Structure 1
Amino acid sequence: MHPIVKQENNMNQFSDSVLQDIGSLLLSKQETISVAESVTSGLLQFGISCIKDASKFFQGGITAYNIAQKYAHLKVEPIHALEVNCVSQKVATEMSLEVCERFKSDWGVAVTGYASPVPESDNKTFAYFSISVHGKLVEAGQLNSSKENPADVQHDFAAAIFERLRSTIIAHKSEKV
């Protein structure tokens, strides 16, 4: 087994056991997953793709950074998205539901937010995530990070989502026959 993430700057690694649990759970349920992300810039896709046998459950993902791409590929409602600079719980939920449709997956995970302080975020770093399964929202929330380096913030968000995803998959009863 290979390490999921190694950083020379001693940034915390994603928990290999959490990721492997996600893979084992999806395989045992015979369910698939896809990802839509912006603030994490592909870290969720990277982490999932490194899980053993990922090709048996990972359908793929999309990184969409602006409203034009989120609207075109993930069908976010454009008026609301413009009002909130594409960062809200509603946008994250729309992303998670649509990525399931696009990739024909059982599970969808999405995140949108700010990894660096900007005026639009009141100079705070935060993100909204959503997890859906079989066309229904099952978990959602806001994430915060005390880190200052944007890469560390992105990593914090991804690691927190992996933890929530694992517990959500454990708690959810499979609807497959």
Structure 2
Amino acid sequence: MFNKELVDAVRDKMIARKETLAVAESVTSGYLQAAISNAKDAKDFFQGGITAYNLGQKYRHLLVDPIHAQACNCVSEQVAESMALHVCELFKSDWGVGVCGYAAAGKESGGEMYAYFAISYDNKIINSGRVESTKKEGEETQIYFTEILLQQLYAYLLQNPD
């Protein structure tokens, strides 16, 4: 289901660097956690993750600004950044990934499927942005977003030598 070579490459870099990762997700529904936790020796770098769908849980666990989040239905770059930063605090990890968005083309998303993501390292956002999907709604789009996040994370691990 997931690109095993990519997951293994992320694992290898994390272990070589002696660093850890945690993830906070909503639109991907735990697929990112599933991909990473299936890596061999995941316990050596993966601290864990949280899937938080609603504003109350995003605020409570990930300190997302409730006024901003309510105004954008919890889907924005700012929300993803807060998720990435605060999941590191929650799990005491070096790296954090946050993702929120829409895996179905509904009224709230303007008929589009997209996600905002953020990657944090050492308490700073190092990458964030928006990714769009033309895949089939639901699981196919969730898996697509998961693959994009893994690619983005790996690219930043490559930019910073072990």
1:173 offset after TM fit, Å?
A: 4.8
Matched, 1:131 2:119: yes
User: How many percent of aligned residue pairs carry the same amino acid?
Assistant: 46
Counterpart of 1:95?
83
- Extract unaligned runs of 5+ from structure 1: 6-13
Matched, 1:22 2:41: no
Structure 2 CA distance, aligned partners of 1:44 and 1:172? 22
Counterpart of 2:21?
33
TM-score of the superposed pair, with normalisation by structure 1: 0.89
Q: Which has the larger radius of gyration?
A: 1
Counterpart of 2:110?
122
Match of 1:148 among 136, 141, 145: 136
Counterpart of 2:145?
157
Counterpart of 1:76?
64
- Extract unaligned runs of 5+ from structure 2: none
- How many residues are matched? 162
Structure 2 CA distance, aligned partners of 1:146 and 1:109? 22
Counterpart of 2:101?
113
Matched, 1:43 2:31: yes
C-alpha RMSD of matched pairs (Å): 0.9
The 10-residue stretch of structure 1 (162-171 or 40-49) with the greater mean CA deviation from structure 2? 162-171
1:131 offset after TM fit, Å?
A: 0.3
1:152 offset after TM fit, Å?
A: 0.5
Counterpart of 2:74?
86
Counterpart of 1:63?
51
Structure 2 CA distance, aligned partners of 1:104 and 1:172? 20
TM-score of the superposed pair, with normalisation by structure 2: 0.97
1:120 offset after TM fit, Å?
A: 1.4
Contact 2:103 2:138 in 1 (8 A): yes
Give, as a single letter, the amino acid of the residue that structure 1 aligns with 2:52.
A
Contact 2:118 2:125 in 1 (8 A): yes
What secondary structure, in the 3-state scheme, does the structure 1 residue paired with 2:75 have? coil
1:117 offset after TM fit, Å?
A: 1.2
Contact 2:21 2:94 in 1 (8 A): yes
Give, as a single letter, the amino acid of the residue that structure 1 aligns with 2:144.
D
What secondary structure, in the 3-state scheme, does the structure 2 residue paired with 1:51 have? coil
1:172 offset after TM fit, Å?
A: 2.6
